[in-house]
Amino acid sequence: MFKILIVDDEFIERDGIIFLIKKFSFDFDIKECSDGEEALEYLKKNLVDILLTDVRMPFMDGIELSQNAKLIYPDLKIIIFSGFGEFEYAKRAISLGVNDYILKPISQAEFKKTMESVIEKIEQENKEKQAKEWRNFTEKEHVLLKVISGIPIESIRERFSLDNYTDFINKYKRMILMEFDKDFFNNHQEFIKEILDDFQDKADYLNLNPYQGIFFLCEFIDETVLENTCTKIHNVISEKYGVDCYFSISNLITSPSIISEEYSNMEHIMEQRFFVPDKYIFSKKVEMTLESTDEKFDSTILKNIEHHIKVRDFCSLKSSVDLLIKKFSAQSDFSQIYVKFILTNIYRNICDEMKEANEMDLDGEIDKIYSSRTIQEIRDILNNVIDNMEKQFSKESFNHRHEIELVKSYIYENYGKDLSLDILAEYVYMAPSYLSSMFKKETSVGINVFIKNYRMEKAKDMLENTNIRIKDIGNIVGYSNTSYFCQSFKEFYGLTPEKYRQKDENNE
């Protein structure tokens, strides 16, 4: 059925044409518009085979409509009808590619002859278009491309008049997607023929692009046998051409209707090769497992990595990066692009902290990340930059006096609160072990000893100069347990707080 658009500002004229179409039993899907502008808007959104338009109309005449319509659909068949039979109209219409020009009042015989002629032209062009399409593909390849793209078999039969030719698809039992990192199929078609020979004419092959091809297997083959076959093919290609190839095996094909879905599944399964090193055969039964851990993947890991970079805790940084990569590898919902984006940002943050890499070097390394074939390659890149960061900070002699003074000031102001090493290290963005080492180097005493000394000094001052209860003094200087406070004070000054206060009062 062809679609025809009738355009005339007179309803009675449109109605008369529709009457003739029905009288001569033309099988048309009929649409109407009352002026050129309305018709042009319709054409922009809808496919039409024949445009039948008046010349004289308000807003946009038939000549201008025809000119614009041809820009949208160059193959559109246009018939102009008008009561104005001037030669200039006909001449201009022909120059625009209009197929016929009918004068009003319309002769029924002329109308029938004109419509039959236009229909014949459309049918002939469709046949030529179909023939050209078949010349570009073999029939089997063409059908397979349509099937894996999701077009139903019945639609293919109806569109291309294939009758039962598509029945060959019913014999397929499995598919194997074969993929390379670089162009292979354009230059090595002879090897594909060798593979098909090995299947003893029980498989068909479809080339998708220079990197991908599909084998359609015509008999049931156990998956383990298929994996062994794919392994042999990989080994031969690796030895003969020096490249790696990867295989994704479909589930059993129980109906041609699931071929498109299975193809999508194979492409999804093939994504696993980015996360798994040194593996070349993938199928649904391959399950990605993760070492047992209670930590779920969320922003916590990324926040930890950011913190480790700031405090220069290189050991923890490597551990967190490894954990993140394990999480990515275990969850197949992540796309390669998303994973590369996240890991690239981590690389940038490390370089920003180092303040050493120039923009050109940074761009080069980021290009390496995005072109990496596996997530393990990216892990190696990150571990390498972490090693470089550790070497840089270990070789350079930094003056940490400012950070140590900040820690001491924090202790002076918060001596009555919890002063763990972790809290102090986080305050100055340093690794706890590194802060402990630098603090002792700068002050000649350990950080815990420094805190205790200051607390004892504050307690001694309050015992000497105030009437605050001993229990309350202990709480003020950070000891919630009075007995422990008294014991610590005695170890430090040789007297309990009570005797120290009595001694001071006796001296007075």
Helix, strand or coil, per DSSP, at residue 429? coil
* Dihedral over Cα of 479, 482, 483, 489: its sign: positive
In a domain, 294, yes or no: no
In a domain, 424, yes or no: no
In a domain, 467, yes or no: yes
**Residues 70, 54: Cα–Cα separation, whole Å:** 16
64-75: burial string, b at 16+ Cβ within 10 Å, e else: bbbbbbbeeeee
- Residues of the chain with pLDDT below 70 are 84-95, 131-139, 158-166, 200-201, 284-298, 331-333, 355-360, 394-400, 504-508
Q: How far is CA 129 from CA 122, 263, 393, in A?
A: 10, 29, 70
One domain, residues 34 and 115: yes
Q: What is the pTM of this model?
A: 0.43
Tally of domains within the chain: 4
One domain, residues 339 and 441: no
**Domain endpoint, select from 279, 313, 347:** 279
One domain, residues 152 and 191: yes
Given this model, what pLDDT does residue 294 score? 40
One domain, residues 257 and 181: yes
One domain, residues 183 and 312: no
Q: Is 306 within 8 Å of 352 (Cβ atoms)?
A: no
Number of Cβ within 10 Å of residue 215's Cβ equals: 24
One domain, residues 248 and 160: yes
One domain, residues 226 and 307: no
**Residues 159, 190: Cα–Cα separation, whole Å:** 33
One domain, residues 270 and 314: no
**Residues 155, 158: Cα–Cα separation, whole Å:** 5
One domain, residues 145 and 270: yes
Beta pairing partners, 51: 5, 78
**Residues 238, 250: Cα–Cα separation, whole Å:** 23
Q: Which domain holds residue 116?
A: 2-131
The gap between the terminal CA atoms of the chain, to the nearest Å, is: 118
The count of C-alpha atoms lying within 13 angstroms of the C-alpha of 401, restricted to the half-sphere facing its C-beta, is 1
Residue ranges in 242-313 assigned as alpha helix (H) = 259-270, 299-311
In a domain, 245, yes or no: yes
* Dihedral over Cα of 94, 99, 104, 109: its sign: positive
Q: Angle CA(498)–CA(503)–CA(504) in degrees, nearest 5?
A: 100
**Residues 282, 288: Cα–Cα separation, whole Å:** 11
Residue 101: alpha-carbon gap to chain centroid: 54
DSSP assignment of 175-211 = EEEEEESS--TTT-HHHHHHHHHHTTT-EEEEEEETT
**Domain endpoint, select from 131, 158, 175:** 131
In a domain, 428, yes or no: no
**Domain endpoint, select from 102, 131, 160:** 131
**Residues 436, 423: Cα–Cα separation, whole Å:** 12
One domain, residues 365 and 256: no
**Residues 447, 419: Cα–Cα separation, whole Å:** 10
Q: Is 411 within 8 Å of 335 (Cβ atoms)?
A: no
Helix, strand or coil, per DSSP, at residue 83? coil
222: Cβ contacts below 8 Å, ≥ 6 apart: none
In a domain, 356, yes or no: yes
Closest CA to 312 of 389, 404, 420: 389
Given this model, what pLDDT does residue 331 score? 64
One domain, residues 54 and 174: no
Residue ranges in 11-107 assigned as alpha helix (H) = 11-23, 36-45, 62-72, 87-95
Alpha-carbon Rg for the chain in angstroms: 41
One domain, residues 148 and 251: yes
In a domain, 16, yes or no: yes
In a domain, 286, yes or no: no
Whichever domain contains 40, its CATH number is 3.40.50.2300
Ranges of beta strands (E only) in 44-173 are 50-54, 77-82, 100-103
